[in-house]
Structure 1
Amino acid sequence: MGDDQSRVEVTVTRPEDARHPFGQLAVYGTQHILTMYGGVIAPPLIVGGAAGLSVTDMALLVTAGLFVSGLATLLQTLGIGPVGSRLPIVQGISFASVSTMVTIASQDGLRSVFGSIIVAGVIGLVLSSFFAKLVRLFPAVVTGTIITVIGLSLLPTAFQWAMGNDRKSAEYGSMGNIAFAGLTLLIILVISRLFQGAISRLSILIGLIAGTLLAVVTGRADFSAVAHTKIVALPPIMHFGSPTFQVGAIVSMTIVILVIMTETTADILAIGEIVGTEVDSKRVAAGLRADMLSTTVAPVFGSFPCSAFAQNVGLVALTGIKSRFVVAAGGLVLVLLGLFPVVGAVVAGIPYPVLGGAGIVLFGSVAASGVRTLARVDFNDNLNMVIVAVAMGVGLIPIAAPTFWDKFPTWLGVIMHSGISATAIVAIVLNLLFNEIKRGNKPGASVFAAADDSRDRLGDRLDDDIRD
């Protein structure tokens, strides 16, 4: 019976493997890049400014960031062997690392930044297969607190940009500079309010373009460096010198890498749900390997740690375009942009007040994202509020009292001067002590929980009085 029975072979195609015509690939892929473009150029500008780089070197940082982000996106979406999740995930320069890199760059320069990234990236690469077991150390109460402090730590940079960035300039803090920052912010808000969908998601990029054009018209923008920049060139190798390795910087960056791996894991799981495809621990590990391999190689080209971009996960949900090849096309666009140094020179020429206006939204939304994560945390009859309060307080010390850690050993100062490192250490340790170690825990033992209970009872009593 089996010999003469016709056999039908059924091929099941995963949603992320869907193919599209070339024109659609180009359009949809470019849309992904426009959505994340503002986020990928901001970290090089922030870190380059902290390192005191020239406009020419800042342009190289920007183009290197675009180039590395493109390669990382291609690796993540297309995959090579056990590396790459093969999901529609856009990789870009991580905001989570900016605060720590600024601290290291301002003290030891970019070479120490690059050295710490290489070592931390290798550590992350080794841990990729086992990270699923470590993820429990980063519940929402920890990651939410860290992400909130990342945003709050970056906001002072936005305010300094709005004032003009150069404290020695006579125009620093002038009404003209602040007005341009406010105008850029207003443009972004108007676009966000009046338009929906893809245009709204491009509000930051449109605001930067509009603000820069107004600055050009009024003579407040200088793009003279563009004329002296090569149109096409390969990103230089080790342009900023060979990396140096400082223990404190490496420890700080390793903590950052663990946070980045947590974010990427969350994004991989989220995109799996959106696409409707199976994502197991093996696939998560493959995605983390792509993340960490890209991060380790990034300093060779003069760039920084890579991570999955959450806004592009949202774009996949919004458009319903689930193909990983669409995102790969976007990665190719990033690579091409990275081969045009003139693009980096144009970006580096954007006036700081214009960047400041956009930065308020960009960095503020990072903090808001952390608050959104904290909204998932259960604060009833536990010490989670204590964890958030203490970790956030310690993390904000570098902003409120920049010299607080100056008398401590240098290696410790480098770690604690970074708000994200300080927050992560305190949040992880307190979470272990208060939540993971169950022995001795008693419901309602926290003074904060008791305060919440009494406040609830008071509210109920007031409601009863009002009804009476």
Structure 2
Amino acid sequence: MAATGLQHVAAMYAGVVAPPLIVGAAVGLTGTELTFLTGACLFTAGLATFLQTLGVWKIGARLPFVNGVTFAGVAPMTAIAATTHDRSDALPVIFGAVIVAGLLGFLAAPFFSKAVRFFPPVVTGSVITLIGVSLLPVAFGWAQGPDPAAADYGSAKYLGLAAATLALVLLLRRVTRGFVQQIAVLIGLVAGTLIAIPCGVTDFSPVVDADPVGFPTPFHFGAPQFQLAAILSLCVVMVVSMTESTADMLALGEIVGRPADERTITAGLRADTLGSALSPFFNGFMCSAFAQNIGLVAMTRIRSRFVVAAGGGFLVLMGLCPAAAALIAVVPRPVLGGAGVVLFGSVAASGIQTLVRAGLDKGDNILVVAVALAVGIVPITAPDFYHAFPVTARIVLDSGISTGCVTAVLLNLVFNHLGGRRAAARESQARESAATAVPLTSPQSIP
């Protein structure tokens, strides 16, 4: 449990620490303050993961979900920082907006989850595929090196490390069995890091400079401030986050063999939003389910939520021990990129699997999938496609998962629900069932 839980942490670590580093730099934090903010986000991600996996009352999907800081909020938070007159007030304004957005999202969760009936396999398969495809560029970016501005970015050294890690993970999955096969990604990350040492890519200075013990003091950067513009901006992010979390829960439900119903989605959204509302008290940002860990569940087939809860425990410990958090940060980006190709590709493959079951030869399902995937891939293939739109609109439009999800839902409504299409589809399904049904008295029905 400890090893597989740590494997989940390793898979999502880079995604958790990136937002506080970007926002912290935007508000002008010192190196020490940046370390504190990163540790706080790790701590709150662990608490949110506990809330999601273990659950309290009607809160928590009780699925193997890892929660962490959503990247969807980075652009609006940096915009808030840029428009705040006194930079020292930027984080309190952001924290105040996150608290309000989280509480409003918590109240809206039961109503938001009712949309689950509009997510048949043709929609969920499209969304799951988009989740994997949207994450793959992240892995490719990691594989090219830590700094896009560096002269050696994308060099053979970095790409070779990524390829070696990918090959090792595939080899372990092919030739090993049992526990070793289950932690193939973790072994690949450790081995890739060791290979990177003689290449001069691994940097141990964060471990040396980090404090052994630290606690995210509540409201370390000041009491939260509530400004309407900031609140409205992050409420939009909350809607995007809830849409992506719904898609993630549907995807994970398919993978673990426990389809997410309305009740599960309501509980999961409550955990996301409550975790977001509580996060600023410990200097953290808005939390959301991490799609990259869905790939790990799909590949390892370890479906226990308690394994992911163990990963949440590691996140809490890292928040309380900066040195431990820095140890995970030692893993070079190219090594993470090599493992990410397997993880994120597994998510896309799961989506394709769901689409096969959806029956693309029936009705206009092929059109629903074709247009939804095309719209969802726009922000990936053409990142500046929506550059002329307002910043608030781009929060939604720049998320391929959100735009693809909305497109799939709307097209499914148009082609499969509106007018007489729904009744016709039901009659067709009833005729097919009657034609293929086996009589209870027939010999074929006897085991």
Query: Could you state the TM-score of these two structures normalised by the residue count of structure 1?
Result: 0.72
Following the alignment from structure 1 to structure 2, what is the Cα–Cα distance between the partners of residues 441 and 78?
Answer: 38
Alignment partner of 1:93 out of 59, 67, 83: 67
Q: Does 1:258 align with 2:234?
A: no
- Deviation per CA, 1:266-285, whole angstroms, max 9, x where unpaired? 757987969xxxx9976764
Alignment partner of 1:38 out of 10, 18, 23: 10
- Deviation per CA, 1:189-222, whole angstroms, max 9, x where unpaired? 1111122333223222221111112222332211
Q: Does 1:68 align with 2:68?
A: no
Closer, same or farther in 2 for the Cα pair 1:286/1:101, shift >3 Å?
closer
Alignment partner of 1:307 out of 266, 269, 289: 289
| Aligned position for 2:279 | 298
| Aligned position for 1:379 | 360
Closer, same or farther in 2 for the Cα pair 1:31/1:158, shift >3 Å?
closer
Structure 1 stretches of 5 or more lacking a match? 1-27, 445-468
Closer, same or farther in 2 for the Cα pair 1:158/1:240, shift >3 Å?
farther
One-letter amino acid of the counterpart of residue 257, structure 1: M
One-letter amino acid of the counterpart of residue 251, structure 1: V
| Aligned position for 2:126 | 145
Please tell me whether the aligned partners of residues 368 and 412 of structure 2 are also in contact (alpha carbons under 8 angstroms).
Answer: yes
| Aligned position for 2:151 | 170
C-alpha deviation, 1:329, in angstroms: 5.9
Closer, same or farther in 2 for the Cα pair 1:235/1:307, shift >3 Å?
same
Query: Could you state the TM-score of these two structures normalised by the residue count of structure 2?
Result: 0.75
C-alpha deviation, 1:154, in angstroms: 2.1
C-alpha deviation, 1:44, in angstroms: 1.6
Please tell me whether the aligned partners of residues 59 and 271 of structure 2 are also in contact (alpha carbons under 8 angstroms).
Answer: yes
C-alpha deviation, 1:257, in angstroms: 0.9
Please tell me whether the aligned partners of residues 163 and 173 of structure 1 are also in contact (alpha carbons under 8 angstroms).
Answer: yes
Please tell me whether the aligned partners of residues 94 and 260 of structure 1 are also in contact (alpha carbons under 8 angstroms).
Answer: no
Secondary structure at the counterpart of residue 164 of structure 2: helix
Please tell me whether the aligned partners of residues 44 and 61 of structure 1 are also in contact (alpha carbons under 8 angstroms).
Answer: no
Secondary structure at the counterpart of residue 66 of structure 2: strand
C-alpha deviation, 1:341, in angstroms: 1.0
Following the alignment from structure 1 to structure 2, what is the Cα–Cα distance between the partners of residues 371 and 114?
Answer: 39
C-alpha deviation, 1:253, in angstroms: 3.8
Between stretches 388-397 and 67-76, larger displacement belongs to 67-76
Please tell me whether the aligned partners of residues 125 and 351 of structure 2 are also in contact (alpha carbons under 8 angstroms).
Answer: yes
| Aligned position for 1:447 | none
Closer, same or farther in 2 for the Cα pair 1:216/1:114, shift >3 Å?
farther
C-alpha deviation, 1:42, in angstroms: 3.5
Please tell me whether the aligned partners of residues 207 and 358 of structure 1 are also in contact (alpha carbons under 8 angstroms).
Answer: yes
Alignment partner of 1:355 out of 332, 336, 360: 336
Q: Which has the larger radius of gyration?
A: 1
One-letter amino acid of the counterpart of residue 68, structure 1: T
Secondary structure at the counterpart of residue 194 of structure 2: helix
- Deviation per CA, 1:286-329, whole angstroms, max 9, x where unpaired? 4543343223323444244243865787799769xx7x878766
| Aligned position for 2:405 | 424
- Deviation per CA, 1:386-417, whole angstroms, max 9, x where unpaired? 12111211121122222211112332233212
Secondary structure at the counterpart of residue 352 of structure 2: helix
Secondary structure at the counterpart of residue 381 of structure 1: coil
Secondary structure at the counterpart of residue 343 of structure 1: helix
Secondary structure at the counterpart of residue 168 of structure 1: coil
Q: Does 1:223 align with 2:199?
A: no
Q: Does 1:406 align with 2:406?
A: no
Following the alignment from structure 1 to structure 2, what is the Cα–Cα distance between the partners of residues 326 and 405?
Answer: 40
Please tell me whether the aligned partners of residues 76 and 83 of structure 1 are also in contact (alpha carbons under 8 angstroms).
Answer: yes
Q: How does 1:49-448 map to 2 (within 5 A)?
A: 63-76=39-52, 79-84=55-60, 89-93=63-67, 97-98=70-71, 100-101=72-73, 104=76, 118=99, 121-130=102-111, 133-237=114-218, 245=230, 247=232, 250-264=235-249, 285-286=266-267, 288-300=269-281, 301-307=283-289, 310=294, 331-439=312-420
One-letter amino acid of the counterpart of residue 342, structure 2: V
C-alpha deviation, 1:187, in angstroms: 1.5
Between stretches 41-50 and 342-351, larger displacement belongs to 41-50
C-alpha deviation, 1:118, in angstroms: 4.7
C-alpha deviation, 1:140, in angstroms: 2.3
Following the alignment from structure 2 to structure 1, what is the Cα–Cα distance between the partners of residues 38 and 140?
Answer: 21
Following the alignment from structure 2 to structure 1, what is the Cα–Cα distance between the partners of residues 370 and 180?
Answer: 37
Closer, same or farther in 2 for the Cα pair 1:82/1:236, shift >3 Å?
same
- Deviation per CA, 1:172-202, whole angstroms, max 9, x where unpaired? 1211111111111112111111223332232
Following the alignment from structure 1 to structure 2, what is the Cα–Cα distance between the partners of residues 268 and 113?
Answer: 33
Following the alignment from structure 1 to structure 2, what is the Cα–Cα distance between the partners of residues 182 and 330?
Answer: 26
Secondary structure at the counterpart of residue 151 of structure 2: coil
Superposition RMSD in Å: 4.0
Following the alignment from structure 1 to structure 2, what is the Cα–Cα distance between the partners of residues 199 and 62?
Answer: 31
Between stretches 234-243 and 191-200, larger displacement belongs to 234-243
Closer, same or farther in 2 for the Cα pair 1:387/1:317, shift >3 Å?
closer
Following the alignment from structure 2 to structure 1, what is the Cα–Cα distance between the partners of residues 257 and 367?
Answer: 34
C-alpha deviation, 1:84, in angstroms: 4.4
Say how many residue pairs are matched. Answer: 405
